[in-house]
Structure 1
């Protein structure tokens, strides 16, 4: 064991020679003490000392051996869902260690040419894999070489790819926990497809359910393992009655949900309905016009006591006359009870121009007569003025201005999805429950939201964005009015754990508000994304992406595919000093006849220091599957291994889920097959989870 500045744990274990020598001498000393001029008592003492020396050096040699082995492979790490530890004050992430300058030093040592061979498979391992590839290999031999037993020296390593040495630089692991309060500042998980994001989500969700938290999962693509794990956790912890499923791809068994039906301010309806419309360049003006049109409709509907939904917004958007007439008559009934006695629904000769205008603009004559009656009598109302400004335009011209809105609304109101996201609240024949976020929070619910974005991308993006805006509005009300808002009795604040897969598909202006203010209302966000560019592309600028990233303080980074994403973590770390050894030699001669020596030589090892990044970004691009670096608690860097899931039964899965689960599996497998780079498994030495 080195006592110098460089602790080279990857050198050959020379201590074994001392062990062999000490043990070889201990027995003769004890057996024939006179041969060594010892008394029996002295021989016992000497033999004991030699055995102790051998044991001490054996411990040192074994430490070096374990480090050299960990460079190539790690012990498998797996657990059943019931074994996932949970606490009311901390969050379990996996097994690992705190990464310090010492580990950066070891990675530097491992990069030296003399240590390169440690990463390569042994000759026996390569021989075993070569035998298994042969079609005529004896079955009994391949059974032996592929046996997953600790006694098998050539057992296959997990196909997790990457560089196992990134975890092998430390052999003393412990459970990694972070304070639950830290997640109030939210967490971001980065990683390319199929490297362990879903498994980490399952572990976090298992703990959330066990703690009794409100759990909400947004899953755009639809991961069947995530859904099953979430439902099984609810069953295990006695919360199955609190579980609620929403899935755009399977309306028959999904809860119904109105993304624009609940709001604090009526303007939220127009914001959610027009949110997916493009807003770049000239499209911004058309989006603003569509927003105003929907806002007029929503204000009128709210005033007459009608709950907005996409079906009604679309119907009134195409033909606003019926809504306008209802609003005018409702307002007059409330404000001017005798108006019907003074209103003539039939046009007179003096109103010939009004009739021609109605015919030209495609408007209802009686509606324009009502509008004229309203103005003539000097009645004032803001909603009337807004509707009147719409009616003053030619219908054809007006439809051209809001034309970008109709294709979106048509997609949202076609097929079975229409009844799912525009539910009839009074329909007692429909047994599907209705999803309401305030109700979910008050009763401590567990909600899985699948958006089927692989099949109906436009609808999925529109509904998921509206749902996020609705959820943000709900937390805004809680933040504004207190934790007991919406409850019949005063209760403590509930913790809400929101897991958002493919976060870039859910991000909108409202998300920044949720991240900023949600913590004060009990919202803990964990977002999952493949790259930082995904988020930047969605929000449209680097500055906005950085603003969002600044609200997600804790970072967990699995294997990523590009340098910019890796630097999202490494740029926040300090540089450290590492030691390097430089071998130098020289020779000099002399012409002095009085000197006996003709030349002098010199050989030396120089130890120097240099500053390097604590974590090289390229290392994050070489992580094995199921391994990650995490930046927690304001700057603490840890290296973690996420436990593999051991087989578990699909506990209590509802019978009517069978077709849905089969289609979700097929759909996701097809997606991975059509995107092979995202599901790539790097063959090589591997390294256990």
Structure 2
């Protein structure tokens, strides 16, 4: 087989082997019986060496043809243990492959020609074995097991059930290790692939390398895949980082670490954004979401002012009973700034009766106490006291209870889901409970320790809770990224190393986690060392989740690295194909014709030609 010609001829019989056999026989004759070919012994050995060299060359060329044809039907088995995964501090190992060039486009096009179909389709022995396997499934099961045995000793063993087109890899027999420069990862990476084509296995490969490099590794898994969780656990302990591992799993709260999704923030208003951001903002719902944001923000500000850390349980408690928070905060601020007003409140409570309470405030717990405080604050003395948090609480308790219940109707179901059962123990941890040995983590602590975190959200059981927790975590990460960008991870703490830590985020099925919180994470998180690797099926999944084509394009535009597994949607495939250059391919056309001779005296009547 020669590579000198423009058009390769690889899908054909390996005729080079015929020459190799004849040359080998000639070399044998020259050595064993030089008299048979009338050669002197001194000449016969030189001639034999020439024939042997030709035989070796032709055998090598013929085996290339056979290997190429075999690859088009069945790829060589490629497996590796976790110990064999190469780990580099400069390159990221992705697998085996080759650089696609015009030559490979030409080869793939050649496989579509009907005359070469016999080189790509299974032979009749293979098809007969599969048919016999089906016929003997119940009568002779041992024969079916024998025919389907996955061993090189079985010449008709079935093809692996991986799907796809083997020719895409088979057209290049000489595959090499494919790597990505680690410096390119800060531009973020997206992996597209339809269901069950290896996205999670690829995630395991990349996560393993990140863990062994000693970097911060955070894995978001909406499904809560046990295999992925076990892989993270095993690789962390294999790398000697077992003490740095945190597993957060909504499906297994007994073994899960605890995380307060609204307990850490740069600004108090972030608490309201993380809670209200999970509510629908479409159409008329936008107004209710804005009210829910304001109401949660009032509660969060009051809790922080009282020295308490916000969590979902406290927010739920005071959404249902804002009067209790109002009384607590009012008494504290009055005692601190205007203690003389406390006597007036006590007098008001003794003088006023239930009939004096305005109708819109009746029915609330401690309505008389609330009204006594309101009367005192509305007095000339009380007007000297101004506190924005207190004013917000005053406006909240003035709402009619029936009206108030209507405008927080969308907020309460979400909070109920986040504070029901054992989930509440994970999302609203009790920092004072010394009997609970489950660790509590936050992202700043994780990044400083260079820890490994697995987050299983159990979306198959409750997608709304999974989405709320996932988006809250993303919002928290964005806040931490902003802090790192401004102050560094150690924020001036003594003993800390200078520079930014690389933070590897692996988001499996990330379309389930998509929200407004995710966009700034990939848009601006790179400056803080965030390196996002996202895995999803199609680009339409992202748009279906966001509901906005412009935001979908914004998300896709922030991924500089694209890894495309097998996909079924043309729109997704075009994300790759539209970036590839157009190349020319060659086709063979048989042209034949004839031409009459005009000269009557000529010896021939016509001329013919055939060419390709």
TM-score category by the smaller chain?
Answer: over 0.9
The answer for the alignment partner of 1:447 in structure 2 is 453
What corresponds to 1:502 in structure 2?
A: 509
- Give the aligned partner of residue 13 of structure 2: 12
Superposed CA deviations along residues 239-298 of structure 1, whole A, max 9, x for unmatched, are 112111111112122112111111111111111111221111111111111111111111
Give the drift of 1:188: 0.8
Query: What are the superposed Cα offsets for residues 646-683 of structure 1, whole Å, 9 maximum, x if unpaired?
Result: xxxxxxxxxxxxxxxxxxxxxxxxxxxxxxxxxxxxxx
DSSP-derived class of the 2:586 partner: strand
Pick the aligned partner of 2:203 from 201, 205, 209. 201
Rounded Cα–Cα distance in structure 2 between residues aligned with 1:356 and 1:155: 85
In the alignment, what sits opposite 1:150? Answer: 152
Residue 517 of structure 2: SS of its match in structure 1? helix
Contact 2:447 2:489 in 1 (8 A): no
1:267 corresponds in structure 2 to 269
Name the counterpart of 1:635: none
* Aligned counterpart, 1:26: 27
**Is the Cα–Cα contact under 8 Å of residues 255 and 433 in structure 1 kept in the other structure?**
yes
Name the SS for the 2:206 alignment partner: helix
Number of residue-to-residue matches in the alignment: 605
Which among 424, 434, 438 is matched to residue 428 of structure 1? 434
- Name the residue aligned to 2:335: 333
Where do residues 268-667 of structure 1 align in structure 2 (5 Å cutoff)? 268-346=270-348, 355-357=357-359, 359-360=361-362, 362=364, 364-376=367-379, 377-485=383-491, 487-492=493-498, 493-605=500-612
CA contact (8 A) 1:8 1:106 kept: no
Deviation of 1:343 after TM superposition, in Å, equals 4.1
Partner residue of 1:246 out of 245, 248, 252: 248
Considering fraction of residues, name the structure with more strand: 1
Q: Hey, what's the Cα distance between the residues in 1 that align with 2:153 and 2:47?
A: 36
Deviation at 1:340, TM superposition (A): 2.3
Task: After TM superposition, give the deviation of residue 37 of structure 1 in Å.
Answer: 4.2
Establish whether residue 124 from structure 1 lines up as the match of residue 131 from structure 2. no
For the residue of structure 1 that corresponds to 2:254, the secondary structure is: helix
- Distance in 2 (alpha carbons) for counterparts of 1:88 and 1:553: 20
Distance in 2 (CA, whole Å) between partners of 1:601 and 1:413 is 89
Which gives a bigger RCO, structure 1 or 2 (Cα 8 Å, sep 6+)?
1
Quote the Cα distance in structure 1 between the aligned partners of 2:11 and 2:503: 47
Aligned: 1:63 with 2:64 = yes
3-state SS of the aligned residue for 2:511?
helix
Is 2:43 aligned against 1:42?
yes
Stretch deviating more after TM superposition (505-514 or 487-496): 487-496
Contact 1:10 1:115 in 2 (8 A): yes
Instruction: Give 3-state SS (helix, strand or coil) of 1:250's partner.
Output: coil
1:201 CA drift (Å):
0.9
Report the Cα distance in structure 1 between the residues aligned to 2:492 and 2:119, rounded to whole angstroms.
Answer: 62
1:334 Cα offset (Å): 2.6
The Cα of 1:238 is off from its aligned counterpart by 1.1
CA distance in 2, matches of 1:227, 1:352: 59
TM-score (norm 1): 0.84
Q: Which runs of 5+ in 1 are unaligned?
A: 606-689
Does the CA contact (< 8 Å) of 1:442 and 1:487 recur in 2? no
Measured in 1, the distance between the counterparts of 2:595 and 2:131 equals: 54
In structure 2, the partner of 1:107 is: 108
The alpha-carbon distance between structure 1 residues 244 and 305, as it changes in their structure 2 partners (threshold 3 A), is same
TM-superposed deviation, 1:143: 5.6
3-state SS of 1:188 partner: strand
TM norm structure 2: 0.94
Q: Distance in 2 between matches of 1:403 and 1:472?
A: 29
Contact 1:220 1:450 in 2 (8 A): yes
Distance 1:11 1:329, change over 3 A: same
- Give the SS at the match of 2:178: strand
Alpha-carbon offset, residue 534 of structure 1: 0.8
| Closer/same/farther in 2, CA of residues 157 and 600 from structure 1, 3 Å limit | same
Higher CA-based Rg = 2
SS at 2:590's partner residue?
strand
Question: Structure 2: any 5+ residue segments left out of the alignment?
Answer: none
CA distance in 2: counterparts of 1:138 and 1:503, whole angstroms: 47
SS in 1 for 2:96: strand
- Mapped to 1, the partners of 2:348 and 2:458 lie a distance apart of 52
CA–CA distance in structure 2, aligned partners of residues 451 and 352 of structure 1:
49
Partners of 2:351 and 2:450 lie apart in 1 by: 65
Q: Distance in 2 between matches of 1:143 and 1:548?
A: 49
SS of the residue aligned with 1:95? Answer: strand
* Matched-pair contact (CA < 8 Å) for 2:134–2:144: no
Q: Secondary structure at the match of 1:578?
A: coil
C-alpha RMSD of matched pairs (Å): 2.2
